[in-house]
């Protein structure tokens, strides 16, 4: 049974974002395929480009469609759509690539040139965009003692990335996800973002052929998971779909970076007790430069029992809604999550922050992380490890 790549080209207008001469050079890599579909690109007139014909071929791929072409189109257009052109040019220049970027160049023009010269650079750029746009993480604590400030750095080499891939592939294969996982790392001061790209279980679905007949499409979707390791507090955040994937990443990172697969344990990071104990005072943010206001806008709670009851409450400002009755209103049941609206200095748009004990946080964008975390720590929503806790950990490690 034939397989195909599900990244089908679906937007003809994107072809016109690329200079016609550059588009011909780009697509000529697969000229045999286009000739087989009735189009000779070498004879194409760049002053009257057959965009409609090219688009029709790309949007209706047959079983002979080159996977490399589908992937190239995907990375070029995804990167051009999501990345500022200045950043693409800077990455290309840093890699020693000679990029033509006059006043008529578009992001797609730059992306095509990068792909033609160094495809892995564009793929990495796309992976970095995915990694930094994730905002929902489950956190796990490591066993290390907090290092000195000068030591709060970590480096993951290319060799270690390949080692991680080799350790993870057997698990992915055993779970019918195939082999060939890829690991990308993006260091940022004392933190490092890690993207794991892997397959998912095969998917089979009905396919409509150009001759009107039915067929069967059989392919393996691709998925990206993201991890953030904080070297300063030895803690890792994991954005992955299943418990098995999270445990795999914790074991793999623990083994490769620290020599033991049980290095990371479940971290009890967040709690909502400050809302119950301090009420409106829990939202104070004047001591956090960069924040101008925090509103408490939603929470969930439950009543335990043989048949638990759940409830959600929302308001533009719950403490204003509850007034002096806030303590009684929040003391009922058990709080399961809280959502806040955070206003940043110099930014008119508020952004949401959701906290779900004990270890899940969701931010609208990663750029807000440092300020929001500073506020969570200052108000007591983030459980900080005490010096006594560190000493206890040290004694356990010493006696192990």
Mean pLDDT value across residues 342-350? 91
What pLDDT sits at residue 147?
45
Residue 85 has pLDDT above 70, yes or no: yes
Torsion 373-376-379-382 (CA) sign:
negative
Domain end: 266, 282, 297, which one? 266
Q: Does the residue 396 lie in any domain? A: no
Mean pLDDT of the chain: 83
**299 and 211 in one domain?**
no
**295 and 191 in one domain?**
no
**79 and 35 in one domain?**
yes
Residue 382 has pLDDT above 90, yes or no: no
Q: Does the residue 99 lie in any domain? A: yes
Residue 299: φ, ψ to 5°: -155, 160
CB 277 within 8 A of CB 368: no
What is the total count of domains within the chain? 3
What pLDDT sits at residue 384?
64
**25 and 103 in one domain?**
yes
**157 and 248 in one domain?**
yes
What pLDDT sits at residue 202?
85
Domain end: 77, 99, 132, which one? 132
Mean pLDDT value across residues 139-165? 73
Higher-pLDDT residue of 142, 152: 142
Q: Does the residue 3 lie in any domain? A: no
pLDDT, tens digit, 9 for 90 and up, residues 38-71: 999 888 888 888 888 888 888 777 778 888 888 8
Residue 385 has pLDDT above 90, yes or no: no
Q: Is 398 helix (H, G, I), strand (E, B) or coil?
A: helix
**285 and 197 in one domain?**
no
Torsion 312-317-319-320 (CA) sign:
negative
**153 and 234 in one domain?**
yes
Per cent of the chain over pLDDT 70 is 88
CB 362 within 8 A of CB 338: no
What pLDDT sits at residue 389?
43
What pLDDT sits at residue 132?
77
134 vs 129: CA distance, rounded Å = 9
What pLDDT sits at residue 380?
93
Higher-pLDDT residue of 391, 334: 334
**145 and 31 in one domain?**
no
136 vs 65: CA distance, rounded Å = 36
**244 and 179 in one domain?**
yes
Tokens of 313: 């409450």
Q: Does the residue 127 lie in any domain? A: yes
Q: Does the residue 227 lie in any domain? A: yes
Q: Does the residue 332 lie in any domain? A: yes
57 Cα distance to chain centroid:
32
Domain end: 79, 112, 132, which one? 132
What pLDDT sits at residue 179?
93
Nearest to 232 by CA among 150, 140, 152: 152
Q: Does the residue 7 lie in any domain? A: no
What pLDDT sits at residue 170?
96
**159 and 116 in one domain?**
no
Residue 275 has pLDDT above 50, yes or no: yes
**198 and 255 in one domain?**
yes
179 vs 268: CA distance, rounded Å = 33
Band the pLDDT of 136: cuts 50, 70, 90. Answer: confident
CB 203 within 8 A of CB 212: no
Mean pLDDT value across residues 383-392? 46
Mean pLDDT value across residues 83-91? 81
Beta bridge partners of 188: 191
Q: Is 290 helix (H, G, I), strand (E, B) or coil?
A: coil
**113 and 162 in one domain?**
no
**Could you list the residue range(s) of the whole structural domain that residue 188 is in?**
134-266
Vertex 283: Cα angle to 278 and 284 (nearest 5) = 100
Q: Does the residue 208 lie in any domain? A: yes
Q: What is the DSSP letter of 232?
A: T
């Amino acid at each position: 049974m034939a397989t195909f790549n599900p990244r089908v080209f679906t937007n003809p207008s994107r072809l016109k974002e690329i200079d016609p001469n550059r588009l011909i050079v780009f697509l000529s890599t697969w000229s045999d395929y286009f000739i087989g579909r009735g189009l000779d690109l070498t004879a194409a007139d760049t002053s009257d480009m057959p965009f409609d014909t090219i688009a029709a071929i790309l949007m209706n791929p047959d079983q002979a469609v080159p996977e490399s072409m589908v992937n190239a189109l995907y990375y070029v257009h995804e990167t051009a759509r999501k990345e500022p052109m200045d950043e693409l040019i800077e990455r290309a220049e840093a890699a020693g690539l000679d990029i033509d970027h006059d006043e008529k160049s578009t992001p797609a023009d730059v992306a095509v040139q990068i792909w033609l010269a160094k495809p892995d650079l564009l793929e990495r750029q796309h992976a970095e965009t995915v990694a930094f746009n994730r905002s929902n993480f489950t956190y796990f604590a490591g066993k290390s003692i907090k290092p000195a400030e000068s030591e709060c750095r970590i480096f993951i080499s290319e060799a270690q990335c390949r080692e991680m891939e080799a350790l993870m592939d057997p698990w992915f294969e055993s779970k019918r996800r195939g082999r060939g996982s890829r690991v990308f790392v993006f260091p940022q001061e004392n933190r490092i973002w890690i993207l794991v790209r892997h397959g998912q279980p095969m998917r089979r679905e009905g396919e409509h052929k150009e001759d009107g007949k039915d067929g069967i499409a059989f392919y393996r979707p691709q998925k990206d998971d993201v991890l953030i390791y904080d070297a300063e507090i030895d803690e890792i955040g994991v954005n992955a779909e299943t418990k098995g994937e999270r445990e795999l990443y914790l074991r793999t990172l623990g083994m490769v970076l620290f020599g033991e697969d049980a290095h990371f344990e479940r971290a009890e990071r967040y709690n909502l007790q400050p809302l119950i104990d301090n009420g409106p005072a829990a939202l104070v943010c004047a001591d956090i430069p960069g924040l101008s206001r925090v509103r408490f806008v939603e929470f969930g709670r439950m009543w335990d029992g043989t048949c638990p009851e759940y409830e959600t409450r929302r308001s533009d400002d719950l403490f204003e809604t509850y007034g002096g009755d806030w303590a009684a209103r929040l003391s009922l049941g058990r709080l399961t999550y809280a959502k806040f609206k955070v206003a940043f200095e110099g930014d008119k748009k508020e952004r949401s922050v959701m906290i779900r004990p004990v270890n899940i946080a969701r931010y609208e964008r990663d750029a807000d992380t440092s300020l929001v975390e500073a506020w969570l720590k200052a108000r007591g929503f983030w459980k900080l490890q005490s010096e006594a806790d560190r000493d206890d950990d040290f004694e356990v490690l010493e006696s192990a």
